[in-house]
Amino acid sequence: MPQVIPRLSPFGRALIVERVGSGRPVAHVAAELGVSRQTAYRWVNRYREGGVDALFDRSSRPHASPNRTTHDREAAVLAARAELRQGPARLAAVTGVPARTISRILHRHQVPRLAWCDPITGQLIRASRTTAHRYERERPGQLVHVDVKKLGRIPDGGGWRIHGRSEEVRGRGLGYDFVHAAVDDHSRLAYAEIHSDERSETCASFLRRAADYFAGHGIAGIEQVITDNALAYRRAHAFPAAVTALGARQLFIKPHCPWQNGKVERFNRTLATEWAYRQPFDSNSARTDALAPFIEHYNTERIHSAHGTPPAARVSPR
């Protein structure tokens, strides 16, 4: 039930009390301020009973909450959140507490959102904005989001996440890995590969393998592919030709509007927090080897908060 917004502010209520206290009729004061006589009498009586403090809104919290989660269960939820750094849907499977209850516990204890926290330490580092405008295609394969994320390569023996920031681990010129990712809009089924560049030919070959991966998981065809406006996607020949060969139509986001490619942008953030930076790797090959197992976990085991099931289950429901 929506909360009722009071007609009068505390200042308006005090004005009623002041004018009635000066000897004016309650009915006249109520008419001047555009409220009913019952409302005017209510605030006058509350003032007489509780003084100025009674003119402010009362808390809607009940006097007793016999079914509230116990302190021990709340402590277990908070400990699991601090250790696992996961959302309510996945914490529910670990703690046995319903996801909605976990959300209330985290809100009650002012636990910051995962997106605002450092993926390694869990410490609060930034704020974030969300939007209520969401969309989803009606069927798998109707739209596939494609993007590339750059990651700095890790030196053998580990980088600054293991040894700290120092001259010994700074500026080694190792270059970057380019993580190519594709996400199905309807199911959130994802596929990713690591390459040494983001040239159009590389993007095209990745798209063909992504289409084969999707086909192996029940998405028979791709109808549309959306990307940003990078030269490899828009100006070169190889990637548009690969899209055409799949029988799909290529779409582009509006310039400077990355949220239009939001499904894969959000997947990139998940890759960063739950794979690339989830633990300090001691070599670049160790991080590379961990990608395929994570993709399998993401698609078949990890509950996606958008629809409450793993992505693969939405393509082929169990």
Whole-number pLDDT of residue 168: 60
Look at residue 146 in the predicted model and tell me its pLDDT. 97
Cα distance between residue 313 and residue 318, in whole Å: 6
Picking from 51, 49, 31, 50, the residue whose alpha carbon sits closest to that of residue 40 is 31
DSSP string, the chain: -PPPPPSS-HHHHHHHHHHHHTT--HHHHHHHHT--HHHHHHHHHHHHHH-GGGGSPPP---S--TTSPPHHHHHHHHHHHHHH---HHHHHHHH-S-HHHHHHHHHHTTPPPGGGB-TTT--B-------S-----SSTTS-EEEEEEEEEPPPTT--HHHH-SSGGGS-----EEEEEEEEETTT--EEEEEES---HHHHHHHHHHHHHHHHHTT-----EEEE---HHHHTSSHHHHHHHHTT-EEEEPPTT-GGGGHHHHHHHHHHIIIIITSS--SSHHHHHHTHHHHHHHHHHTSPBTTTTB-HHHHHS--
Fold classification of 144-315 is Nucleotidyltransferase; domain 5 (3.30.420)
Per-residue pLDDT of the chain (318 residues; tens, 9 = 90+): 455 567 788 888 999 999 999 999 999 999 988 899 999 999 999 999 989 888 888 777 787 878 888 899 999 999 999 888 889 999 999 999 999 999 999 999 989 888 888 777 778 876 555 544 567 888 999 999 999 999 988 887 776 566 566 656 554 667 899 999 999 999 999 999 999 999 999 999 999 999 999 999 999 899 999 999 999 999 899 999 999 999 999 999 998 888 899 999 999 999 999 999 888 888 899 999 999 999 999 999 998 888 788 999 888 654
β-bridge pairing 144-152 and 190-195: unpaired
- pLDDT for the residue numbered 48: 92
- pLDDT tens, residue by residue, 199-235: 999 999 999 999 999 999 999 899 999 999 999 999 8
Burial class (CB in 10 A: 0-12, 13-18, 19+), 275: buried
Chain-centroid distance of CA 115 in Å reads 6
Confirm whether pTM is higher than 0.85.
Answer: no
Tell me what pLDDT residue 125 has: 78
pLDDT at 170: 56
User: Could you read off the pLDDT of 36-65 as tens digits, one per residue?
Assistant: 999 999 999 999 998 988 888 877 778 787
Domain borders along the chain are: 10-55, 71-111, 144-315
- The predicted structure's pLDDT at residue 132: 46
